[in-house]
Amino acid sequence: MVKTVYGGLPDASAEQAVRDFKRAIELTDKRFHRLELAKTYMQMDREDEAQTELRTVLEMDPRGPFDQEYARQAKQLLKELR
């Protein structure tokens, strides 16, 4: 179902995306990067890892103008994974 909703990336592209988002998180830990990492995990059917990232998004302190929207999206995606 997740692939139907979000489309899919070739495995190599998804793995590269995971590496890139993890690197971005190392450099500057922002909700956006974790949300996109979670979406990538969902596309790869790695739901446990997606849930971990989504929960982290919800636990982070808001720092930017879009953080409330990212938290809203994370909450919705967590509901979809349950």
Q: What is the pLDDT of residues 12-68, one digit of tens each?
A: 799 999 999 999 999 999 999 999 999 999 999 999 999 999 999 999 999 999 999
In a domain, 36, yes or no: yes
In a domain, 20, yes or no: no
| Predicted local confidence at residue 1, as pLDDT | 43
Of 51, 48, 27, 36, the residue nearest 6 (C-alpha): 36
* Tokens linked to 60: 């982070």
In a domain, 59, yes or no: yes
What is the span of the domain harbouring residue 41? 30-82
Task: Give residue 58's Cα distance to chain centre.
Answer: 11
Of 51, 17, 1, the residue nearest 9 (C-alpha): 17
In a domain, 54, yes or no: yes
In a domain, 8, yes or no: no
